[in-house]
């Protein structure tokens, strides 16, 4: 379990993490989300004792990281996949880590197979692609068979097969009762992997909730309707919070009404429906809506005179 209480980090006049309080519980994959500059990496560094908090505290299984007797056996972490000796082979990199923590050689063999690096284990880590480097970093995190796993952007550089593999791995680790805390900018992947979310923006806690509740709170009532007479149906669907938008020749998207309410209104008027289905907001849409006021770096897009070229410039707000 990871417990942060009033966790704060300032760098001069810049507050990177602002009074964060949350708990990462064992048995579920907890996603750590936030825009760039939200304080995610700084928070993870404080959990691992790499940065000292300006205020508050963070504990792993009831103790500060520096108080852990055998850190690799208790906490496995990946913050930067490229933090390896580039002249060493993947196997020797893992073996060196193992020998410093009293981990037997057979465990090195196990994690090499677990992350799928057996065929390249004797190659120098400096020649690895980004995806292979990620696998090596994950192997390092799992080397001590820890109860708590902390991974920062673990799917970076992985191909579709690798992404599916890491998704399955994280779920299986959580199913074993381990604490799994993972950050990612890939919302579609988090939607399939995480069960709980901690969302931050500008260093502050925005949400601490299950994925299901996060999506339910963001989506409201949205219904997709296909009908032979969209104009007539649109005039019937009225109310203070109801909005009807035409999204196709025979398609309406209705906000503020349930499928039952739309169906009853159409039936009473004798309007034939071809489709009536509830629409759920995606995790990406919900995340963008929730964090729109907490984004530090925005992009501006301009179109050239011909309308075919786009130029994007980053703006710090």
Q: What integer pLDDT is reported at residue 265 of this predicted model? A: 94
Beta-ladder partners of 207: 199
Which pLDDT does position 314 carry in this prediction?
47
Encode pLDDT of 184-224 as tens digits: 887 888 888 999 999 998 899 988 988 888 876 665 568 89
Which pLDDT band holds residue 315 (cuts at 50, 70, 90)? very low
What pLDDT sits at residue 241? 82
Categorize the per-residue pLDDT at 84 as very low, low, confident or very high, splitting at 50, 70 and 90.
confident
How long is the chain? 317
pLDDT at res. 285: 72
Higher pLDDT, 7 or 238: 7
pLDDT of residue 219: 54
Instruction: Give the mean model confidence (pLDDT) for residues 139-156.
Output: 94
Task: Give the CA distances from residue 161 to residues 164, 264, 289, in Å, rounded to whole numbers and listed in that order.
Answer: 5, 46, 30
Nearest to 97 by CA among 117, 80, 113, 76: 76
d(CA 117, CA 90): 8
Helical (H) or strand (E) element with 298: strand 297-303
For the chain, helix, strand, coil in percent to 5 are 35, 30, 35
Q: What is the per-residue pLDDT for 297?
A: 55
Tell me the range of 149-158, 213-222, 276-285, 290-299 where mean pLDDT is highest: 149-158
Domains of the chain, each with CATH number or no CATH: 2-216 (3.40.50.300), 221-278 (3.30.70)
b or e along 55-65 (b: 16 or more beta carbons within 10 Å of the residue's beta carbon)? Answer: ebebbbeeeeb
* SS3 (DSSP) at 199: strand
pLDDT one-digit tens code per residue, 238-256: 888 888 999 888 999 998 8
CA-closest candidate to residue 208, choices 77, 68, 26, 33: 33
Task: Encode pLDDT of 120-137 as tens digits.
Answer: 999 998 899 888 999 999
Q: Specify the pTM.
A: 0.77
Quick: pLDDT tens for 299-313.
555 544 555 444 444
Position with higher pLDDT, 287 vs 108: 108
3-class SS at 114?
helix
Q: Would you tell me the crossing angle of helices 160-175 and 130-142 to the nearest 10 degrees?
A: 10
- Kindly provide the residue ranges of all beta strands, DSSP E only, lying in 29-69, ordered along the sequence: 29-33, 55-60
Q: Angle at CA 249, nearest 5°, toward 245 and 255? A: 20
Q: At what angle do helices 283-291 and 211-219 cross, to 10 degrees?
A: 70
Q: Which of 142, 157, 155 is nearest to 73 (CA)?
A: 142
Banded model confidence at residue 279, pLDDT cuts 50, 70, 90: confident
């Amino acid at each position: 379990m990871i417990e942060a209480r009033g966790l704060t980090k300032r760098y001069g006049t810049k507050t990177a993490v602002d009074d964060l309080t949350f708990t990462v519980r064992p048995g579920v994959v907890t996603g750590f989300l936030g825009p760039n500059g939200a304080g995610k990496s700084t928070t993870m560094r404080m959990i691992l004792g790499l940065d000292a908090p300006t205020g508050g505290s963070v504990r792993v299984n009831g103790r500060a990281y520096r108080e852990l007797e055998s850190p690799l056996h208790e906490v496995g972490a990946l913050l930067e996949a490229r933090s390896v000796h580039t002249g060493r082979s993947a196997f020797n990199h893992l073996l060196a880590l193992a020998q410093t923590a009293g981990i037997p050689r057979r465990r090195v063999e196990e994690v090499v197979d677990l992350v799928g690096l057996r065929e390249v284990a004797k190659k120098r880590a400096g020649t690895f692609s980004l995806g292979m480097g990620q696998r090596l970093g994950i192997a390092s995190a799992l080397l001590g068979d820890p109860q708590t796993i902390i991974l920062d952007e673990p799917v970076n550089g992985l191909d579709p097969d690798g992404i599916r593999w890491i998704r399955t791995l994280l779920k299986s680790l959580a199913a074993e009762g381990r604490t799994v805390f993972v950050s990612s900018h890939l919302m579609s992947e988090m939607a399939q992997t995480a069960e709980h979310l901690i969302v931050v923006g500008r260093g502050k806690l925005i949400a601490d909730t299950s994925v299901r509740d996060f999506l339910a709170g963001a989506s409201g009532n949205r219904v997709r309707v296909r009908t032979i007479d969209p104009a007539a149906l649109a005039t019937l669907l009225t109310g203070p919070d109801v909005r009807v938008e035409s999204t196709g020749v025979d398609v309406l998207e209705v906000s503020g009404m349930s499928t039952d309410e739309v169906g009853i209104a159409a039936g009473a008027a004798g309007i034939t429906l071809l489709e009536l289905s509830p629409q759920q907001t995606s995790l990406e849409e919900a995340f963008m809506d929730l964090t729109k006021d907490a984004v530090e770096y925005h992009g501006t897009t301009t179109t050239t005179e011909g309308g075919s070229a786009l130029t994007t410039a980053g703006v710090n707000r």
